[in-house]
Structure 1
């Protein structure tokens, strides 16, 4: 009988110049020979007793002891072995390595690959990664699945984005804003000074101190007493105001979104973060992770430096639950995804049985990016003939989706303890307002430091630098001199409008005169002119009388 590939080739040949493949005597003979070999293998394995090696890697494979003391294989791997046993009618016994390693150890009996490579077992019923070095030692079956290794860490109490006030922007944006605030003031001073020299229209340049306080005041949405008249200066001021308006709008919107949503950003999201932040991580000893990290041909070989510094550690554990104290202490666990999912689900159920509140049961979380991924399958000795025999059945089992079903049948259909817990409310914590407290403390400390600095400068530096002059008694004019000495850029003082003026002298001999029915004072000004000041009218308040 012709196979599917042979029928496809035969169809192509029929529309060209070839004869049907199944009519070719040579290919018929080869196909008949393959079928005969396949039947001979079936007869050979019928009733045969096999040694099947495995190791503890829940939920894919693990062993239990029966009442008679014999090892009993469990997990997805031995469901497939039972299917093969019923199809080919063989018996088997389970053999485990002494150190529960995939590869490594001082002798072949320490690892599963060592048992297969030295033909101490007929096959390995475990999902072993198809690594380059493993291919040199054993023969693999058809691909059963793609193993994915992830990173599990303790769920942080707050997002790695920082406190609430800093969360809307990342560090690069904050640094650029700080540079803009510190540099825009000197730019205003420089441009206005350059303009005052090139365009001598009488407008003075803005010194450094007013420029800085304008930039800072606009940054916190405060006004200014600067009133520029030149178009160049007005454009500079308008540009900074527009920048602040847009920046405030983006900041307010993102801050509201951050405080409303409960999504977390982890400090460790990829293998690169482990290396950059020098975070301690652990994994199973003798596993694929240890080999891949130590292999120069792999992409994550750079993590081998962390092994030398002690930040990466490989431990031999009988169960993944033994890694939980290390993860709670701040370490990151690198393990296969299915094992991590079962570990987190079991921990969640244990907390539920203990009566822990719902919001506190998900104490662990998985990083969003993968650590690595590898194809996996059963392993056989190099000279074994079981691989082509068993692959015919395993292929149909895999295509039917049975392997995927067996891997996830004991897990819930929803994601276990996701990164975003979808909380309905978001109450502000002290951690969200931590930066507010820090700004207040820093501002008070800066004010105290400036106050002490001013006292030291004015009492000891400026006082000693000025030459001492003999004291003399101030005249009456000098005592009242401050009345008219004020800055033109500020509003005029109150007494300059309604106060007394030394230029207009009013005394008892001052005469009055009625003009057009209104009474006026006849005042002799200091320059010799005569002025008329209306009496008993609101406009009289605009004149400064010396009474």
Structure 2
């Protein structure tokens, strides 16, 4: 039995891939039957020439033609193949499908799955999704990584959050505010009318029009000439004012936060947005995306309806950069995340070499949510012995983190062209003030419409009504009941009554007079009364014209 020291040393040796020091059995006896079979299989493929299929899918795999016309494989897949080649001592040649498809096609030579299914290649060195549909045709290796398909689109100039004036609240809050503004006025009229009938104390109810204008005026922080005396009406007014104060405080704070710490949002964030908003999108032909979308058993099958309407396309491109004109035209590119990052980084470097300004280099952006995700690995023919031979070293390569390192070694450590570019300045743009322009245009249109309606009603409808109901009245020299002019003391005086022309006041005969050491302007009103208006004192601006002193 091993001692404690021997166990510690054994653990250290196991971590460094050496044999346990207390294992005194011969090496051949320690090997299991599985190890013997593995050694025999390795001897069988020692020095053997393999046909390895692959396709263009940067940076995971791609093919270039050598000087003598032979195809040379590159990418993460062939860096792994080179590790396996050194360990197992085999040679290989590269075979590519005719259509650069992962799966599908009219004949076996069109796709990698077709080549492996018909034993036209010994293995496929490409990261293919482990799809259930093809497990009865080919054999998949152990999972090498989990592929994440994302959506890349052209970076919009403006955030999808909309105008800055509407940004502090979402649509539900704005709808509820609109309901409150439209409903609180009728509530005031209804409650005051009900109180007038039940508590006859002389206070009149507030009709619908003043109630509505009070609610609207308080909403934009304007005063009112209504002076309620009943406690019920005062509570109603106070409740609305408190609501407006809190609402204004929340709106101002959130608007300030939006303008200073705004978060850029996209119109497309999930695959459902492609369907709901009818966005045009494109992906590689013969890829896993096409297989998932056209398969009735998959969750994304609803997107197949967009194929019938021409909003979704599957195209075969020899180079990923050929998709960029489509994206610039408004289409959304659906592709595996590593390929998207490599494409965006290559485009960024190209713009940097061309001297494009830093702020204009990030032309594209990736949606925050992924399109789909699947396990990926190499592919072998159905009954191939290579799977038993290569899965064990592939697992060691995976567990050592080599695959993750190879996928990102040519990419920057920071996120490429993130959604939020973290710009230090936040200036108001024209779109932030678009709502103000809409309010102005809507208000002018409403004013013109009301003006036309008033003109039509007063000049035609009321004129016809007065013409029909007009009766002759007898001429009398004196009226028994002379007219009495009532003046509403609750309303403030017009400014032009003090500083401008007022037809009710005869300013031509105004005289200056000093009474009790104070200067007054003596004027004569239209009804014959004489009024004194203080001048050259602060109280002159607050003086109420309707309160007069008879001479």
Distance 1:481 1:191 in 2: 35
Contact 1:97 1:109 in 2 (8 A): yes
Per the TM alignment, residue 199 of structure 1 is displaced from its structure 2 partner at its CA by 2.1
For normalisation by structure 1, the TM-score amounts to 0.83
Mark the runs of 5 or more structure 2 residues left unpaired by the alignment: 1-22, 498-546
Q: Deviations over 1:290-341 (max 9, x none)?
A: 0011112222221111112111111111111111111111111100001100
Contact 1:281 1:333 in 2 (8 A): yes
- 1:142-157 to 2 correspondence within 5 Å? 142-157=142-157
Aligned position for 1:503: none
Aligned position for 1:302: 302
Root mean square deviation, CA, Å: 2.4
Aligned position for 2:282: 282
Distance 2:416 2:220 in 1: 45
Contact 1:263 1:421 in 2 (8 A): no
Aligned position for 2:71: 71
Per the TM alignment, residue 488 of structure 1 is displaced from its structure 2 partner at its CA by 5.4
Q: 1:481 to 1:412 in 2, by over 3 A?
A: same
Contact 1:73 1:94 in 2 (8 A): yes
Contact 1:486 1:492 in 2 (8 A): no
Answering whether residue 109 of structure 2 is matched by residue 109 of structure 1, we say yes
Distance 2:375 2:267 in 1: 29
- 1:325-364 to 2 correspondence within 5 Å? 325-364=325-364
Aligned position for 2:514: none
Aligned position for 2:19: none
Aligned position for 2:528: none
Per the TM alignment, residue 200 of structure 1 is displaced from its structure 2 partner at its CA by 2.2
Name the SS of the counterpart of 2:73 in structure 1.
Answer: strand
Tell which structure's C-alpha radius of gyration is larger.
Answer: 1
- 1:323-402 to 2 correspondence within 5 Å? 323-402=323-402
Q: Deviations over 1:383-418 (max 9, x none)?
A: 011112111111111111110110001100000110
Aligned position for 2:470: 468
Per the TM alignment, residue 236 of structure 1 is displaced from its structure 2 partner at its CA by 1.4
Aligned position for 1:192: 192
Per the TM alignment, residue 274 of structure 1 is displaced from its structure 2 partner at its CA by 0.8
Answering whether residue 414 of structure 2 is matched by residue 414 of structure 1, we say yes
Q: Deviations over 1:123-179 (max 9, x none)?
A: 000001111112221111111111000000111111111111112122222122111
Distance 1:131 1:208 in 2: 67
Per the TM alignment, residue 261 of structure 1 is displaced from its structure 2 partner at its CA by 2.7
For normalisation by structure 2, the TM-score amounts to 0.82
Name the SS of the counterpart of 1:300 in structure 2.
Answer: helix
Aligned position for 1:509: none
Name the SS of the counterpart of 1:127 in structure 2.
Answer: strand
Contact 1:145 1:375 in 2 (8 A): yes
Distance 1:111 1:232 in 2: 80
Aligned position for 2:237: 237
Per the TM alignment, residue 478 of structure 1 is displaced from its structure 2 partner at its CA by 10
Distance 1:64 1:98 in 2: 15
Distance 1:479 1:401 in 2: 106
Distance 1:253 1:477 in 2: 64
Aligned residues: 474
Distance 2:381 2:351 in 1: 44
Name the SS of the counterpart of 2:136 in structure 1.
Answer: helix
Q: 1:492 to 1:318 in 2, by over 3 A?
A: closer
Distance 2:320 2:343 in 1: 7
Q: 1:474 to 1:444 in 2, by over 3 A?
A: farther
Aligned position for 1:487: 488
